[in-house]
Structure 1
């Protein structure tokens, strides 16, 4: 926590003195995600749920969870002796049920009514970008939004891996304009059932990390920006634990 304390909001110079400990607020949010409980069910050991919710909304509007996550990711890479900005990544999507979503769709392949998480991860499986769409939006359309955001947020990223479900022409055309190299990893010829594919298993493991946080097994948020913030809190929490306990 000390490594990201400088990124948290500073106490106001005027007005009422802040009573909430932001460290405990972050701990409460991580507990909420891990347990899958509702806001009103937070234990009394944490600040009042209204306080935690107020700080969550304030930090989310400032994209603070995204900033904290990226700062911890770059710190983790530096501790490994690598460059802060990755040069290669993997893109994929996951459809989850979203009973309370304002906008949702039906994924005919997975037979799920909800949202689709389009993500990009580095070659170690750590999150680089997440973009939420209704589940009926095809993978290639969701990936295009991810590509545009990746170019702005991680300018050193040059090489991306994707699976055969993505429209090659759509991805290749877009990647050419953004100076990306996209490599589609297809299934082995004659493959029956599940098989571990090079590079592809990394992003599948990331989805496995996500659903270990019970709040992310389903998408309980009405708005997509709330869901994105929850994903960044969870993945940032994993990185902080990795740094604290190498």
Structure 2
């Protein structure tokens, strides 16, 4: 994984077609989302030593009940993810899916498809972690209203599926690997929240100035990418990139 302040590496999947509707109604699978920042830069455990796995889903666009299907973990070695290659795996079948790191025994996120549909799952109250302790462990949880009311006017877009409890994760997805830089927005759960990230050079709500604010702090974050402030044309170091040893896929 890359090393560098405000880098956002991800290994994730999106549906090959929006059979159930636009994002996130047709689903999203995040095997890995991490950060390039050093230790605890965005709160305990929110750094390049840790990563999260998440499923995004909702019966209408623009929302996601991801808090029901999210988990975070660290490398079994205990070191930064940027120091060595790791295996980031996904096992996925009609009865459920799970993500793991390095070995199938190191499960990060496990979601069972047989017990309840995603519509029923998302209709329940969510639990938001608002305080993390050592190693990113959640110390305090806060209940919050669900993204939709299963007994109300919201319709279930997935009930026509041949595998209704697995939908929208019952269709073909494609793999993406990318490194983004920063993000903006107004929600507290964003990847670089204002109230948690130390020394962040932009505010998420200042969408008109966020990019210029970020660039204006070039001297503070460019060295963390391995770049030379006095000679920026030399570029960042190799350590600021996502380095891929292999991508492997086995069909059922």
Where on the TM-score scale, by shorter chain, does this alignment land: which range? under 0.3
TM-score, normalised by the number of residues in structure 2: 0.26
